Structure 1
Amino acid sequence: MWLFLAFLAIPLIEIALFIEVGGLIGLWPTLAIVVVTALVGAAAVRNQGLAALRKLQRSLEQLEDPAAPLAHGAMILFSGALLLTPGFFTDTVGFLLLVPQVRALVIRHAIRRIIIHRSGPGGPPPHAPQPRDDVIEGEWEEAPPPKNPTHRPRSGWTHH
């Protein structure tokens, strides 16, 4: 339900902001701000995205947990999508997500809401499928092809 409300509220907020800002400073300055924020945002996302990729590679090379660099990279990617979407509200949120401290705060909040299941050498995770005891083992061999390839005997499994 909250996703539906977001898809409804965000365009309405953007339309209201465009009307207000356009009324204050005019059409062309408003459009110029939208274009400039998209260009500046794209450059910032590119730089921070490359830095996040380097951190991810470094953590993988050193056999460290890659969760933090992956989370930061995903948020930078999301920030880029917001910055390329025309609007003042989405640009504000996009630029906020480019601030590492804001990303860390969002990640900490998300971690509290996510349930992580881990398994170790002691066995399968608790949500793994249980082994079945109704499996019948057997042997098989491939049947030779029919001598007359145009004539196929009915197998009982298909209807011709």
Structure 2
Amino acid sequence: MRVFGFIIFFIYAYLELSFFIKVADSIGVFLALIGIIATSILGLFLIKKQGLKNLSIMQQKIANQQSPKNEIIKSVSLLFSGFLLLIPGFLTDMLGAILLIPRVQEYIVRFIVGKFPFKVRSFSSSSNVQINDVIEGEFERKADE
């Protein structure tokens, strides 16, 4: 399994370096480096803006006792996008930018929600109980050592 990880890493590094060399050859090394830094800064700004917007939507849904599962999945895609934008290289910047597109995020949300039956049970502070969904699972208690 470790060998497979190393192979994937070296393939990624080869592709990233070859793409950087082609871009630097056409626009210059200095502009290519500035481009990588600029996309990282721009990506972090966009992620911060979209992340705060997504957080406020989650808070509204929780206040209205609705399930925020779509917003949680979008937050994970924003986090992954931010990680890709921080990694230096044009290929990872392109993948990170693609994950910032709202239509792509909606597709990812629909794909993940369709694969996994997320269930959430929410209780209100009043006497009536609203059941939106149920989370099923198993757990095991481990004694402290």
So what's the TM-score if we normalise by structure 2?
0.74
Q: Who is 1:52 aligned against?
A: 54
2: distance between equivalents of 1:119 and 1:80?
Answer: 28
Equivalent residue letter for 2:117: I
Identity %: 28
Equivalent residue letter for 1:11: A
1:85-108 residue CA offsets vs partner (Å, 9 max, x unmatched): 111111111111111111111222
Unaligned runs of 5+ in 2: 122-130, 140-145
So what's the TM-score if we normalise by structure 1?
0.67
SS across alignment from 1:95: helix
Q: Who is 1:144 aligned against?
A: none
1: distance between equivalents of 2:93 and 2:30?
Answer: 18
1:23-81 residue CA offsets vs partner (Å, 9 max, x unmatched): 11111010010011111111101100100111111111111011001011111111111
SS across alignment from 2:88: coil
2: distance between equivalents of 1:128 and 1:99?
Answer: 36
2: distance between equivalents of 1:99 and 1:30?
Answer: 23
Q: Once superposed, what is the RMSD of the aligned Cα atoms?
A: 2.6
Q: Who is 1:92 aligned against?
A: 94
Equivalent residue letter for 1:17: F
Q: Who is 2:23 aligned against?
A: 21
The alpha-carbon distance between structure 1 residues 6 and 65, as it changes in their structure 2 partners (threshold 3 A), is: farther
1: distance between equivalents of 2:60 and 2:12?
Answer: 37
Aligned residues: 124
The alpha-carbon distance between structure 1 residues 118 and 87, as it changes in their structure 2 partners (threshold 3 A), is: same
Q: Are the equivalent residues in 1 in contact too, given 2:61–2:67 (CA < 8 A)?
A: yes
SS across alignment from 1:65: coil
Residues 64-143 of structure 1 correspond to what in structure 2 (within 5 A)? 64-112=66-114, 114-116=115-117, 118=119, 125=136, 128=138
SS across alignment from 2:65: coil
2: distance between equivalents of 1:55 and 1:11?
Answer: 38
Equivalent residue letter for 2:105: R
1: distance between equivalents of 2:19 and 2:42?
Answer: 20
Q: Who is 1:39 aligned against?
A: 41
Equivalent residue letter for 2:101: V
2: distance between equivalents of 1:117 and 1:76?
Answer: 20
